[in-house]
């Protein structure tokens, strides 16, 4: 079986490589739009499946992995910030609180159809000063990260006081879950 990763995320590529899998990256053009009436805890899995189904070139003997990571704070989804002010607003919202990070995972083959899962991790951020928030934004430019932060960067090292659940889920791919699903369903 040939493994395909449908993601532009360098972090997902790195994590799947570290798991020891050989795979090819495939480009998937798919918007990340979801209904505003959808319960927030269903969004990550919905988007992972939407990305998977947008890839119409899946062949026999191929397995496609797609994922989507969302940050949920105060009952709302924090997407990737558009600019410095939006990043500042998101990090201010997370400041001194616990929020959830969910990654929806879709593993699909023509033979077995799709397998959907969601991994959830709780992340607690310490009390931050405005200077710390602006330092992080200006230094690391987290505009490609849901919730405006990367746990693998300075923010995770200096500002996250605790996590409950998978660290790698917060990075962007629940590696243990991916490995388990591939091993159980495809014996790879």
Catalytic residues: 68
SS3 of the chain: the string is CEEEECCCCHHHHHHHHHCCCCEEECCCCCCCCCCCCCCHHHHHHHHHHHHHHHCCCCCCCEEEEEEEEEEEECCEEECCCCCHHHHHHHHHHHCCCEEEEEEEEEEEECCCEEEEEEEEEEEEECCCCHHHHHHHHHHHCCCCCHHHCCCCCHHHHHCEEEEECCHHHHHCCCHHHHHHHHHHHHCC
Distance CA(80)–CA(119), nearest Å, equals 19
């Amino acid at each position: 079986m040939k493994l395909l990763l449908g993601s532009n995320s360098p972090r997902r590529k790195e994590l799947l490589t570290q798991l020891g899998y050989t795979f090819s990256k495939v480009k998937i053009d798919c918007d990340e739009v979801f209904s505003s009436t959808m319960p927030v805890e269903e969004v990550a899995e919905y988007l992972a499946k939407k990305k998977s189904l947008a890839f119409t070139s899946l062949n026999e003997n191929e397995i496609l992995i797609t994922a989507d990571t969302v940050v949920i704070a105060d009952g709302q989804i924090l997407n990737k910030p558009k600019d410095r002010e939006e990043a500042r607003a998101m990090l201010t919202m997370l400041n001194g609180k616990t929020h959830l990070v969910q990654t929806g995972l879709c593993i699909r083959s023509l033979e077995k159809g799709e397998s959907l899962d969601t991994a959830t991790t709780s992340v607690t951020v310490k009390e931050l000063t405005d200077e710390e928030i602006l330092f992080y934004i200006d230094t690391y430019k987290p505009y490609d990260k849901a919730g405006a932060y990367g746990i693998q960067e300075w923010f995770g090292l200096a500002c996250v006081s605790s996590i409950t659940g998978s660290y790698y889920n917060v990075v962007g791919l629940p590696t243990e879950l991916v490995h388990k699903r591939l091993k159980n369903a495809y014996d790879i």
